[in-house]
Amino acid sequence: MNQKHTFSPLVRRPARRALIVIATALLLPAAAVMPRVYAVIEAHHRIYTVKDVPAHRVAIIFGAQVYPDGHLSDMLADRVATGAVLYHAGKADVLLMTGDNHVAMYNEPEAMRRYALKLGVPDDAIVLDYAGFRTYDSCYRARDIFKVDAAILVTQRFHLDRALLTCRGLGVEAVGVPADAVRPEGYNPGDLTFSQMREFPATTVAALDLLVHRKPRFLGEPLPILAKAR
């Protein structure tokens, strides 16, 4: 007589848990990598040099570290310098400098403005966004506060993919210019490696922000900037 075998829940549960653990171990790396891969592919044909980028009314310069003495980090100095080159080449009329000013003693946009003035950019061609705490916030505020619907994005190549994904996901028609060519000696290898690796989780977070339509920490009244264009 055939006997039907049965397995108790106590036997099945460990197997299910093992499958869940294995599936999670396989899916988590994919979840972290896929948004980054998508961002790189999408950005590929939207990245230009200063010479061949289409002219726009606005270039968005993303903030980065400023030292306690007011000096810009190498990466930030390159971003501002690239923005200045775009302005002088007639590729952008207004430079929107967006960065962190969460406390009175730390002010990325103002430090960026001072450096741009030294590079010959007139003050009336500079607009400061003091609440650009993250790339997502900068792009969102560019659209909703400063009423930017198209722009050149200026940052390092490793960050440009995420910036383009974010701005375009928010409806800002954006192209990018890498800010890597100004400093021929390159950056500190440790800083560069950390920044490159950081883009994997940061791009995943940006994709989630776009998915849930997250609002930035601060908004406010609209301040259209195109009236300042030359």
The ranges assigned to domains in the chain are: 45-225
Q: What is the pLDDT of residue 23?
A: 46
Which has more pLDDT, 68 or 41? 68
pLDDT, tens digit (0-9, with 9 covering 90-100), for 74-127 = 999 999 999 999 999 999 999 999 999 988 889 999 999 999 999 999 999 999
CB-based contacts of 123, cutoff 8 Å, min separation 6: 113, 117
Q: What is the pLDDT of residue 26?
A: 45
Q: What is the pLDDT of residue 53?
A: 97
217 touches 131 (CB < 8 A) = yes
Is the Cα dihedral 21, 23, 25, 28 positive or negative?
A: negative
CATH of domain 45-225: 3.40.50.620
Q: What is the pLDDT of residue 27?
A: 46
pTM of the predicted protein model: 0.80
Which has more pLDDT, 42 or 22? 42
* Mean pLDDT value of segment 129-153: 96
Confidence of residue 29 (pLDDT cuts 50, 70, 90): low
Residue in this structure with the two tokens 């930017």, named with its chain if needed: 148
Which has more pLDDT, 202 or 66? 66
Q: What is the pLDDT of residue 115?
A: 97
Confidence of residue 25 (pLDDT cuts 50, 70, 90): very low
Which has more pLDDT, 30 or 43? 43
d(CA 147, CA 151): 11
